Amino acid sequence: MGKYFGTDGFRGEANVGLTVEHAYKVGRFLGWYYGKEHRAQIVIGKDTRRSSYMFEYSLAAGLTASGADAYLLHVTTTPSVSYVVRTEQFDCGIMISASHNPFYDNGIKIIAGSGRKMDAAVEEQIEAYIDEGVPEIPFALRENIGRTIDFAAGRNRYIGHLISIPTRSFKNMRVGLDCANGSASSVAKSVFDALGAETFVIHNEPDGTNINRECGSTHIESLQKFVKEKHLDCGFAYDGDADRCLAVDEDGELVDGDKIMFICGKYRNECGKLSDHTIVSTVMSNLGLKKACERDGMKTVQTQVGDKYVCENMMENGYDVGGEQSGHIIFMKHATTGDGILTSLMLMGVMLEKKRSLGSLAGEITLYPQLLKNVRVADKKQAQENKAVRAEVEKVAAALGSDGRILVRESGTEPLIRVMVEAETEELCETYVDQVIDVIRAQGLAVE
């Protein structure tokens, strides 16, 4: 990770860690970088945060000042930007979003022409330009100054793409959608309505400050209650920029990313379409996923946390299903990034093809109790490398043996250390997580 760019772009509190000057310089660099041999064309999408409009204009100003044309998708999802970049031959795309973070944070995600997240080498060059002004980038003059172009049609093409994927109508299916007052508000209901579902939507009235607030994939309780009250067949919850999805079955039970990967991967394997019988997951995925896959003739491959790394592994090895427990799921046949709405469509497809409820499909995988707690720290690297902390982690790992595991890692986007334990009981998880956190605090590493 660089100074500004983490596993999911440049993120920080608006006008504190991420300022309009930062956004302007990112635009200046990208307009110059892609415009060395032709007039660069770069597409911009944004989520519903109040500051997203401010950053949209800053980025557009930087791009056009460097001679690039900025195409505005307006409020849309991260995967729609990826789709448009890939299919409309843009030089790159920019998504303004802090994903599941609160409204006062924001972020800049850069998507390469392939539809994948930008290479770290280019992000390093952007950081050098932000801090050092290197290279010196000239301003475009006269007719070479770029234009800002309305491109709402690009989002509509993405919606059409999603509608074309399912092979069965959703007629007679009662589906709940939690749009997190974010990007999905502009897309999800249109897709499900067009496919014939009886669609019930909550949290689809963004006001600039209510994105992710007690709703969406990070607050699944709201959708669980809604599905039970309305007696729905299933429900899907998205995050702020709709690149992740968690599901709720007919009884209001959570179906997380691991279960979604298992359900969809197993169906593809039964159809002879799962490449090398393999699902790609991250080190955060539950042990239960690995055991269920082994039982049913499949394999799992693990990467470091981040759908960026999942995608890299999938493309290098030709795998077609992968993702994260948090709901970033990649179906390589249709997308090169996590796509929450696509994920919900794929899960609906399995339910309809197998004529089974989501609850019965999810019941085929048993997850180990798992507990994750975050500790805010002053220095993530120092906390990770502290001798006392490492010794306590090793002590817990030895106690768990083959019946569980502990994982301590840095957040890629926030000043947090994440402590996760899987064990046979919830009580053991709580005990071992707290043991490590107590040492972090005792060493004076935590910021309370």
Q: Annotated binding residue at 164?
A: no
Residue 217 DSSP one-character state: G
Tracing tokens 């609906």 back to the chain, one arrives at: 348
Gap between the Cα atoms of 247 and 343, Å rounded? 9
Q: What does 346-388 look like in DSSP terms, one character per residue?
A: HHHHHHHHHT--HHHHHTT--PPPEEEEEEEBS-HHHHHH-HH
Phi, psi of 335 (to 5 degrees): -155, 160
Gap between the Cα atoms of 428 and 409, Å rounded? 20
> Can you name the residues that pair with 111 across neighbouring β-strands?
93, 117
Gap between the Cα atoms of 448 and 446, Å rounded? 6
Contact 289, 425 (CB under 8 A): no
Q: Annotated binding residue at 99?
A: yes
Cite the DSSP H helix spans in 318-355.
340-354
Contact 427, 357 (CB under 8 A): no
Sign for the pseudo-dihedral over CA of 180, 182, 183, 186: positive
Q: Residue 355: is it exposed, middle or buried by C-beta count within 10 angstroms (0-12/13-18/19+)?
A: exposed
Token pair belonging to 405: 């595991």
Of the residues 99, 217, 281, 285, which is catalytic? Answer: 99
Residue 99 annotated as catalytic = yes
Q: Annotated binding residue at 193?
A: no
Gap between the Cα atoms of 69 and 130, Å rounded? 21
Cite the DSSP H helix spans in 144-247.
152-164, 188-194, 221-230
Sign for the pseudo-dihedral over CA of 245, 157, 147, 145: positive
3-class secondary-structure state, position 230 = helix
Amino acid identity of residue 68, one-letter, is A
Gap between the Cα atoms of 428 and 239, Å rounded? 30
Q: What does 70-91 look like in DSSP terms, one character per residue?
A: EEEEEE--HHHHHHHHHHHT-S
Gap between the Cα atoms of 402 and 419, Å rounded? 18
Q: Annotated binding residue at 276?
A: no
Residues placed in the known binding site? 99, 239, 241, 243
Catalytic residues: 99
Residues placed in the known binding site for Mg(2+)? 99, 239, 241, 243
